[in-house]
Amino acid sequence: MQLGYNWLIYMDNDSNSIMAFNRHSPLIPGIFEVKSKSKETHDTWSIVLNNKEPCRVETFNPGQFNMLYAYGTGEIPISISGDCSNQKYIVHTIRDVGKVSHALCNLKSGDQVGVRGPFGTTWPMDQLKGKDVVIIGGGIGLAPIRPVIFHILENRDDYNRVAIAYGARAPEEMLYPTQIMDWRSHLDMQVRVTVDSASPKWHGQVGVVTTLIPRLNFNPDNTAALVCGPEIMIRFAVKELISNGINPDEIWVSMERNMKCGIGLSGHCQMGSMFVCKDGPVFNYMDVERYFRIKEL
């Protein structure tokens, strides 16, 4: 059926229903090309995407995610992990854990990928101005929070003391090791890294990421903290931040739920009265605190 250039027709084989979507609808993926790809760890890759349809470029900000569509396989939410001041390319860091992430990790330069987004809330960069900022990341959780670090480095005078604590299972599972070394060389930034266990080749800290928090240098009365990682890590990191004097309403966390539409329609990512895709993924801790206490939500 011809509805004009801006309309696409989708036919659902199961229900025999026909749907018409505007090409600019957030439900229609834009076509992007993999410009380059780099291996981060044995199961994690970063891909740089180049927009093939300039009209679909929208500004993206630290904390937001895209729905990435691996053709013929499926679509999953993946956070933007690159520098948001460079809006020409989008960088994503993906851990191969299942069907779709595996397909995305296997893309090659020049391959095409469908992208919907950017979706979701952002890290509160404006509210952090003038404060000490503590950034806690664990495992793949450094990826969604990395744009914050880029932003701070580019706008260093807006922020007070900055401390980054990152935990990974083992030295070889750490994301962005070269970049971490670079951040470390900034004299006005504390960067601490820890791993769960290590061979003698590792000369750094061993222990869980929460043990780094009391060693960070910040003024709890004027500190905001950002936490990103698996939910169990967030729970214990937040507990430690609070016991080190940080006000719970000065803590922001990035939450994950299975997603489908990414725009608050399907209800897939519902968390109580909120949708993680639309009201999150970045939440003030006080807004989600009760969900950390509920099992199986």
Partner 1 sequence: MSNFIAEQLSEHPIFKGLPFITLNDMIDCASEKIFSRGSTIFLEGEDANYFYLILSGAVDLSLHTHNKGPIAIQSLHNGDILGWSWLFSPFVWHFDALAREKTNTIRIDGKCIRKLCKDNPELGYELMNRFSKVMLDRLNATRLQLVDIYG
Ligand X SMILES: Cc1cc2nc3c(=O)[nH]c(=O)nc-3n(C[C@H](O)[C@H](O)[C@H](O)COP(=O)(O)OP(=O)(O)OC[C@H]3O[C@@H](n4cnc5c(N)ncnc54)[C@H](O)[C@@H]3O)c2cc1C
169 binds partner 1 (CB under 8 A): yes
For strands 89-95 and 44-51, give the pairing. Answer: antiparallel
Total number of residues binding ligand X (CB under 6 A)?
A: 23
**String marking each residue 93-132 x if it binds partner 1 according to CB under 8 A:** ----------------------------------------
- Residues 5-24 touching ligand FES, rule: CB under 6 A, are none
**What's the token pair of residue 285?**
């801790």
Which listed residue (98, 110, 204, 245) binds ligand X by CB under 6 A? 98
Burial 241-254 (b: 16+ CB within 10 A, else e): bbebebbeebbbbb
- What gap in Å lies between CA 122 and CA 144, rounded to an integer? 10
**What's the token pair of residue 97?**
């854990």
275 binds ligand FES (CB under 6 A): yes
67 binds ligand X (CB under 6 A): no
Cβ at position 266, least distance to ligand FES in Å: 3
Which listed residue (80, 94, 189, 259) binds ligand FES by CB under 6 A? 259
Mapping DSSP to helix (H, G, I), strand (E, B) and coil, where does residue 141 land? helix
90 binds ligand X (CB under 6 A): no
With contact defined as beta carbons under 8 Å apart, do 223 and 232 qualify? no
With CA atoms as reference, report the closest residue to 227 among 214, 216, 217, 241.
Answer: 241
**What's the token pair of residue 101?**
């992430």
What are the distances in angstroms from CA 182 to CA 141, 177, 266? 19, 9, 42
Cβ at position 104, least distance to ligand X in Å: 8
93 binds ligand X (CB under 6 A): yes
With CA atoms as reference, report the closest residue to 79 among 276, 284, 286.
Answer: 276
Q: Is the CB of 169 or the CB of 257 nearer to ligand X?
A: 257
Cβ at position 144, least distance to ligand X in Å: 5
79 binds ligand X (CB under 6 A): yes
Which listed residue (113, 143, 227, 253) binds ligand X by CB under 6 A? 143
Q: Is the CB of 232 or the CB of 265 nearer to partner 1?
A: 232
DSSP 154: H
268 binds ligand FES (CB under 6 A): yes
261 binds ligand FES (CB under 6 A): yes
With CA atoms as reference, report the closest residue to 142 among 35, 226, 43.
Answer: 226
With CA atoms as reference, report the closest residue to 131 among 247, 254, 244, 211.
Answer: 247
Task: Give the helix/strand (H/E) hosting 67.
Answer: strand 65-70
With contact defined as beta carbons under 8 Å apart, do 113 and 34 qualify? yes
Cβ at position 3, least distance to ligand FES in Å: 25
Q: Which does 108 bind (CB under 5 to 8 A by kind): ligand FES, ligand X, partner 1, none?
A: none
47 binds ligand X (CB under 6 A): no
**What's the token pair of residue 98?**
């299942």
Query: Which residues of this protein are in contact with ligand FES, per CB under 6 A?
Result: 259-262, 264-269, 275, 277
Query: Which residues of this protein are in contact with partner 1, per CB under 8 A?
Result: 138-141, 167-169, 173, 194, 196-200, 202-211, 215, 229-230, 232-233, 236
Query: Which residues of this protein are in contact with ligand X, per CB under 6 A?
Result: 65, 74, 76-79, 81, 93-95, 97-102, 140, 143-144, 256-257, 259, 281
